[in-house]
Amino acid sequence: MRSSISNVILALCLSFFVGNAIADERTEALDREATHLYQQVFSPFCPGRSLNDCPSSKAAELKDQMRAELEAGKSSEVVLNEVIQKFGEQYRAVPKFSGVGMFVWIVPLGFVAIGLVVAVYLSIRRKKINTDRPGVSASVLTSEEERRIQDELSRLE
């Protein structure tokens, strides 16, 4: 009888700890999702800051409301769209990949691609110039320059 009571107590303790561990994991996952969501919105209360970085009490209220909606089971995309509808598209920190937002994503990538093409072209061109003139270095000194260098070196000694 004692062993069955101790087994029941042990089972209750284990279920309590396992239950708490699962709840902690859910809370941590929700915290990460909420923080990621807050970073995708500019704060309507602190100009130039993300909602995540705004210390305003109004921002805290909005974050609490958004987190409650996440806890209720709404997807982060739905919550984000509701906030953007309420405050306006200018508060979206990460532009959509459609319409003008697509332009915002593509232009920097285009500049990077153009820069890489130019760098490769210049590298190949420079290598070709150096292989076309074997034995000739890029900086050839005239005899006058060599004499001046030797004069300067002899003065230092």
The model scores a pTM over 0.85: no
Residue 114: predicted pLDDT: 92
In sequence order, what E strands does 80-145 have? none
18-76 pLDDT tens trace: 554 455 677 888 888 888 888 888 888 888 888 888 898 998 999 999 989 988 888 88
Residue 50: predicted pLDDT: 87
Question: Which residues sit opposite 41 in a β-bridge?
Answer: 92
What does the alpha-carbon distance between residue 6 and residue 1 come to, in Å, rounded to a whole number?
9
Residue 135's pLDDT band, with cuts at 50, 70 and 90, is low
Mean pLDDT of 150-154: 90
- 3, pLDDT greater than 80: no
- 113, pLDDT greater than 70: yes
Residue 131: predicted pLDDT: 67
Share of the chain above pLDDT 90, in %: 13
Query: Check: CATH 3.30.210.10 for 1-94?
Result: no
Cβ neighbour number for residue 17 with a 10 Å cutoff: 10
